[in-house]
C-alpha cells in the first residue's frame, strides 16, 4: 500500500473565482452609479482644474432650479435660501473647500448669477464653473 504525500500548498482557485465574480459585479454596476442631475453644459476653452478632495457641486438646470451635490444623487430642487444654508454649513467646516457651479446651457443667466452671488455672499473662497471642453481643446488644436 502506497502512502500519499501530504500537500502543504494553499489552493487559490476559489479565491480567484471570488475575485473574478466581484470584478464582473463592479464592472456592471460602475456605469450605473451616476451622480448629479443632467445638465447641458456650455462649451468653453477653459483649462481643467485638479483637486485632491471631492468638490461640492451646485447645479442650475434649464428651468432655473437649484441642486446641491455632495456625492449623493440630488433628487429635490431647493431654493436659494436653503442652498445658502447647506453650503454655509460646509464652508464653516472647511473654509477652503472648492465649490463648483454648473449651469445648464439653456438656463437663464440670472439664475446662474444669483447662485454665484449667493455663494460668494456666504463666504465661499474657492468658486469654479463646470463647462464642457470645446472640440478644439479635446483634439489639441
Q: What are the pLDDT tens digits along the chain (141 aa)? A: 677 887 788 888 889 999 999 999 988 888 776 555 566 666 666 555 555 667 788 888 888 888 888 766 556 788 888 888 888 888 888 877 888 888 887 788 888 888 888 888 888 888 887 777 666 545 555
d(CA 101, CA 78): 15
**In 10 A of CB 128, how many CB atoms?**
15
Does the residue 22 lie in any domain? no
What does R_g of the chain's alpha carbons equal in angstroms? 24
Q: Given its phi and psi angles, is residue 60 left (phi above 0), alpha (psi -120 to 50 degrees) or beta?
A: beta
Question: pLDDT value at position 137?
Answer: 47
Predicted model pTM: 0.56
Does the residue 127 lie in any domain? yes
Report residue 126 CA to chain centroid gap: 16
Question: pLDDT value at position 94?
Answer: 81
Does the residue 1 lie in any domain? no
Domain ranges, residue 93: 43-139
Question: pLDDT value at position 124?
Answer: 82
| Residue indicated by cell numbers 467646516 | 93
Cβ-contact 59, 37 below 8 angstroms: yes
Does the residue 107 lie in any domain? yes
Does the residue 30 lie in any domain? no
- Domain with residue 66: its CATH number is 3.30.420.270
Total of domains in the chain = 1
Cβ-contact 132, 43 below 8 angstroms: yes
Question: pLDDT value at position 33?
Answer: 66
Does the residue 29 lie in any domain? no
Question: pLDDT value at position 20?
Answer: 94
What are the distances in angstroms from CA 12 to CA 8, 15, 17, 33, 104? 12, 5, 9, 31, 51
Does the residue 27 lie in any domain? no
d(CA 53, CA 56): 10
**Residue 58 is placed in which grid cell?**
451646485
Does the residue 102 lie in any domain? yes
Amino acid at each position: 500500500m502506497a502512502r500519499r504525500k501530504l500537500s502543504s500548498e494553499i489552493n487559490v482557485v476559489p479565491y480567484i473565482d471570488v475575485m473574478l465574480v466581484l470584478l464582473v459585479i463592479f464592472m456592471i454596476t460602475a456605469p450605473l452609479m451616476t451622480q448629479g442631475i443632467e445638465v447641458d453644459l456650455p462649451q468653453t476653452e477653459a483649462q481643467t482644474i485638479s483637486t485632491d478632495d471631492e468638490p461640492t457641486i451646485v447645479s442650475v438646470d434649464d428651468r432655473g432650479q437649484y441642486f446641491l451635490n455632495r456625492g449623493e444623487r440630488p433628487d429635490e430642487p431647493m431654493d436659494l435660501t436653503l442652498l445658502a444654508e447647506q453650503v454655509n454649513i460646509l464652508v464653516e467646516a472647511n473654509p477652503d473647500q472648492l465649490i463648483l457651479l454648473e449651469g445648464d446651457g439653456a438656463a437663464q443667466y440670472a439664475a446662474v448669477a444669483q447662485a454665484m452671488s449667493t455663494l460668494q455672499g456666504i463666504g465661499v473662497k474657492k468658486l469654479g464653473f463646470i463647462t464642457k471642453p470645446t472640440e478644439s481643446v479635446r483634439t489639441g488644436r
